[in-house]
Structure 1
Amino acid sequence: MSRDKPPLIDLQCEAHTYPDGTVGMHDVKFSVFPDEVVALLGGNGAGKSTLLEHLNATLVPDDGELVVGGTPITEENRAHARKQVGFVFQDADTQLVAPTVLDDVMFGLQNYGVSGDEARERAREALTTVDASHLEDRIPHYLSGGEKRLVGLAGVLVLEPSVVVLDEPLAGLDPERSQLVAKRIKEIHQEDISVVLSTHDLDFAAQVADRVCVMADGNVVGDGTPREVFYDDALLDDANLHPPSAVRVARDAALDATAQPVTEADLVALLTETGDSETLQTSSTDSSERD
């Protein structure tokens, strides 16, 4: 994460109210920096989707400002935000519009005037990036939920955005497909693209995120590293969230409080280290007794 560089997205939203009078967000200040994965957490109605849809100007603040890549976004240049900030919606079907997967991934490029041959080549590269090349001749609406999510992601990546936004990327996916999507998110990040995602799965957030933001009642109420957030009991209680499995197990097992594991891998490493220490202590005691 590069906070020494200007943010890729800087949102100041004093208020956003829906037509029915529902307040979606208020007093929100949210930035996305180069080279980071941000997980947005909160219960239903906390404002996560509302915030995400402000990041590419799908929604605009009633009072506030969105700046993308140093450019303030207005009614006249919303296209700049949508090109720089790719959005993968929770309902993947809303983004699938063409008769084949390849045509679908090419669609955005062609809207920007990219020629057929170049669009086709770039679309195939994007499908390769998400390991979905084998799907290019398939009919999008007959794909599985996980496959649709990957095709939607390819359709965003082909436009070469600086930030990819994913609204509940694991919604409706089985564990195997969820891990596939998690792997692709990490690979996208390795290509120097920042990622912002919302999720109800705190284990997934702990696995992929560099930074975690917690929302409640239309506002960002917490922001920090996974360790800072997931060991802040008061913050999680206020947002009606339960810590990831690794945090709960570490506490139940009374493991070293300073280690603060947040992922399964962290927990395994800590348990292995603890086990090795106990083995060494036992071996040392046995050796002393023999002497």
Structure 2
Amino acid sequence: MKGNETADPLVDLHCEAHTYPDGTVGMHDVDFQVYPDEVVALIGGNGAGKSTLMEHLNATLVPDEGELVVDGTPINEDNKSHARKEVGFVFQDADTQLVAPTVLDDVLFGLQNYGVPADEAKERAREALATVDAGYLEDRIPHYLSGGEKRLVGLAGVLVLEPSVIVLDEPLAGLDPNRSRLVADRIEQIHEEGISVVLSTHDIDFAADVADRICVMSEGNVIDEGTPREVFYDLELLAEANLHPPSAVRVARDIGLDIETQPVTEAELVELLSEDESERTATSQVDGHRTD
């Protein structure tokens, strides 16, 4: 696991309960931390509490009972802005974050709210767009962008505030394979630059591919967590959360792959199958020489 769990957490959430106004229990008995240098994936069925948990990480929602600590600072009604600056949130519905007439104006909007001078704000906005390879969009009208482009602009809009953590709610939802790969690549790039990432996803293969830590949610609680290998080979845990393992895990089990290091990604599976084929070929060649 890449995350440094020996360090103090960047985000430390203790939520004994969160109930929505209609009486629906969104989350209960949750202890959740985000550490430096990690990607955390939340998985679980619809209504498991993933979005509720994530909206607590930057004080969009607050626990009925509990506490949120961000970068060592307990968050209350007077300093929610600290949580929202340190923890950038990219919503599933990108249109909810697009508020300005052009992409560049949209990305620098948050900086203006913090009183950053116009020239500096514009420069930082362009840098953020360049980070997600979306600089060519700066003069475009946000609402006319494709779904993938909107996600990238939303990502730039939180990056520009230089957060320590970025939270993404279903970042690949509704995207075609090419746009999904583009957004996934940008997420990995952001992590490589030192920003921790928390994401929710129904795409189990994506979670296996990008996450250092997997948190399984069910009925408003984190029922277990671990590395992708620990979680995705625990069939009882997946069944409890009504989830299926990634494609690589299913294939490895179906073909009875006899290995100590269990693959969780397609790349790992291909590598192991290639090694297995090479070993069989080498053995066959040796046996062939022996019979000559």
Runs of 4+ in 1 over 4 A off after TM superposition: none
- Counterpart check, 1:192 vs 2:194: yes
Aligned residues: 290
SS at match of 2:174: coil
Which residue is 1:181 aligned to? 183
Name which of 14, 17, 29 aligns with 1:15: 17
Residue deviations 1:181-229 (CA, integer Å, cap 9, x gap): 1100000001100000000000000111010000000000010000000
Question: What does residue 96 of structure 2 align with?
Answer: 94
Deviation by residue 1:56-96 (Cα, 9 ceiling, x = unmatched): 00000000000000000001100000000000000000000
- Structure 1 counterpart of 2:130, from 100, 121, 128: 128
Residue number in structure 2 paired with 1:264: 266
The normalised TM-score by structure 1 is: 0.99
Which residue in the other structure is 2:208 paired with? 206
Do the aligned residues in 2 keep the contact of 1:259 with 1:270 (CA within 8 Å)? no
The gaps in structure 1 that reach 5 residues or longer are none
Show the 5 A alignment for 1:1-291.
Answer: 1-290=3-292
Deviations 1:231-282 (A, max 9, x none): 0000000000000000001111111242210111000000001001101111
In structure 1, what is the Cα distance between the partners aligned to 2:258 and 2:32? 34
| Kept after mapping to 2: 8 A contact 1:13/1:65 | yes
In structure 2, what residue type is equivalent to 1:233?
A: L
Q: 1:96, 1:152 within 8 Å by CA — same for their partners in 2? A: yes
**Amino acid aligned to 2:273:** L
Q: Residues of 1 paired with 2:57 and 2:21: CA distance?
A: 20
- Please list every run of 5 or more consecutive structure 2 residues that lacks an aligned counterpart in the other structure: none
**Separation (CA, whole Å) in 2 of partners of 1:57 and 1:289:** 73
2 CA distance for matches of 1:132 and 1:222? Answer: 37
- Write the distance in 1 (CA, Å) between the matches of 2:104 and 2:209: 31
Give RMSD over aligned pairs: 0.5
Q: What TM-score do the two structures reach when normalised by structure 2?
A: 0.99
Structure 1 contact 123–154 (Cα < 8 Å) conserved: yes
SS in 2 for 1:75: coil
